[in-house]
Amino acid sequence: MDSLKERIKDDMKTSMKNGDKARLGVIRLILAAIKQVEVDERVELNDERVVVVLDKMLKQRRESIRQYRDANRVDLVEIEEAEILVIQDFLPQALTEAEIDEMVKQAIAETGAESIKDMGKVMAILKPQMQGRADMAVVSARIKAGFSA
């Protein structure tokens, strides 16, 4: 099976052939971000680390969207949203609301967490399982809601 990085490179070639400049631009950003980490750390990233890079890119775009909405810049929001769609193509299947709730319940039970003070333990279990499959800010809010319920 091809690595995630290979899949991204293949998609870049396809986008070039199809003349899909918008998609190609995002894929180049992805590959540049991967390359930057590889150069900085002098390592070859495996699929797990590539997902971490993609997840970070998603988080950055979500934050940009929030700021652009606050500034009433719909044009920029649309660009960021389009980039999110391309990045998500390379991430594992997103978790459903029900799956997130169930995983949060299990993690709370597994850690014996009793209050918001134990949130770090719960997040430590959930983050590797959910990386690239859920917005961790949403997960964090769900955990807090679980403690206040």
- CATH fold, domain 97-148, is Arc Repressor Mutant, subunit A (1.10.10)
Residue spans in the chain of domains classed CATH 1.10.1510.10? 4-88
Q: Is the pTM of this model over 0.85?
A: no
Q: Where in the chain is the domain with CATH 1.10.10.410?
A: 97-148
Q: Name the CATH superfamily for 4-88.
A: Uncharacterised protein YqeY/AIM41, N-terminal domain (1.10.1510.10)
Placement of tokens 């590539």 in the chain: 50
The span from the CA of 57 to the CA of 66, in Å, is: 14
Best CA proximity match to 4, nearest among 50, 40, 38: 50
pLDDT digits (tens, 9 = 90+) for 53-111: 999 999 999 999 999 999 999 999 999 999 999 999 998 888 888 898 888 888 888 88
Euclidean distance between CA atoms 87 and 132, whole angstroms: 10
